[in-house]
Amino acid sequence: MMSESLADRIIIPEALVEALRHAEHVAVLTGAGISAESGVPTFREAQKGLWAQYNPEDLATQEAFERDPRRVWEWYAWRRKLIARAEPNPGHLALAQIEERVPRFSLITQNIDELHFRAGCKETIELHGSIGRSRCLSCDEVTREWVEGDETPPRCPNCGGMLRPDVVWFGEALPFDALARAVAAAHDADLFFSVGTSGVVYPAAALPLEAIEYGATAVEINPEETPATVMMDFVLKGPAGRVLPQLVAAAWPEQAAPQQ
C-alpha cells in the first residue's frame, strides 16, 4: 500500500517548474476554492456551496439590501465571524512564498476574506472588496471600525449614516482601480495561475483569457474542471493547499523545509 504522503503527491510537470523558476512576472487569480481548506465555504459547489443554500438575490444585491438591510447585514456578520475563525492554509502560504521568490508578483483575488493578506502577501488586488470593511451609504467613508449593537446595520462613525459591507454585489461595478490593475497584471504576466475559481463570474473570469491572449503561460489549479480548463497550458488537478506547496518545493528545492 502507498503511504498517504505518496498518494497525495501531485505530478508537477518539469516544464512548469522551469517556467516558474524563470518567470519575470507571475500573476495569480484566486477564488473561493483557495480558502476552502481553511473552512470558508465556496459558492457554487453542490450542497456545501453558499449559493446552494442561499439565494444570492436575497443577500448579495443592492435591491436585497434596500428591501431588508438587517437580514443582509446579519448574513455578512455571520460570514465575518466564520472568516475571523479561519486561518490561512498551506495554499495561501505557498503563494506568499512565490511572491518572495519571483521578480514581480501580482495577486488578484475574488475573495473578501483577507486570508492572502494574513498569509503574508504584501499586496492583493481585491476585485470584490473585503468583508473586513464597511462603507457609509451617506458619506461614502470606508471604515474598519464600527459598533455592532443597538442598530442593525450599524451607523457610520463619521456621519451617522447607514453602513453596508464594502463588497461588490451582483449588478454592481467592480472597483475601477482594482480592475485596471488586474487587467494590467494579466497583460504583463508571463505566467498566470487560476486557482480555486469556477471561472463563471465576469469580469474576473476573463482575466486568464486576457493573460493567454497576451502570451502568458496559463496554469489552472482546481480539483474540478472549469470552462477555462481547455485553454490552459498546465492543469494541476487537486486541492490548492496540497498542489501549491508541492509546486513551490519543486521549483525551489534548495529552500524547502526538511521533510519530517
Residue ranges that bind ligand OAD, judged by CB under 6 A: 31-33, 36-37, 42-45, 49, 60, 110, 128, 168, 196-198, 201, 221-224, 226, 239-241
Output the DSSP codes for 205-254. Answer: GGHHHHHHHTT-EEEEE-SS--TTGGG-SEEE-S-HHHHHHHHHHHH-GG
The catalytic position among 25, 116, 128, 187 is 128
Half-sphere exposure of residue 242: CA atoms within 13 angstroms, side-chain side: 14
Residue nearest ligand OAD (C-beta atom): 33
What single DSSP character describes residue 255? Answer: G
What single DSSP character describes residue 42? Answer: -
Looking at the Cβ atoms of 82 and 161, the one nearer to ligand OAD is 82
Looking at the Cβ atoms of 45 and 58, the one nearer to ligand OAD is 45
Beta strand extents in 146-212 (DSSP E only): 163-167, 191-195
**What's the min distance (Å) between Cβ of 37 and ligand OAD?**
5
**What's the min distance (Å) between Cβ of 75 and ligand OAD?**
11
Q: Are 61 and 171 in contact (CB under 8 A)?
A: yes
Looking at the Cβ atoms of 109 and 215, the one nearer to ligand OAD is 109
Q: What residue has cell string 457610520?
A: 156
Q: Are 129 and 165 in contact (CB under 8 A)?
A: yes
CA 185/CA 25 separation, integer angstroms? 8
**What's the min distance (Å) between Cβ of 199 and ligand OAD?**
6
Looking at the Cβ atoms of 142 and 159, the one nearer to ligand OAD is 142
Beta strand extents in the chain (DSSP E only): 25-30, 104-109, 124-126, 129-136, 142-143, 163-167, 191-195, 217-221, 234-236
Three cell numbers, residue 101 = 521568490
Three cell numbers, residue 173 = 461595478
**What's the min distance (Å) between Cβ of 241 and ligand OAD?**
6
**What's the min distance (Å) between Cβ of 24 and ligand OAD?**
26
Residue 128 is a catalytic residue: yes
| Residues with catalytic roles | 128
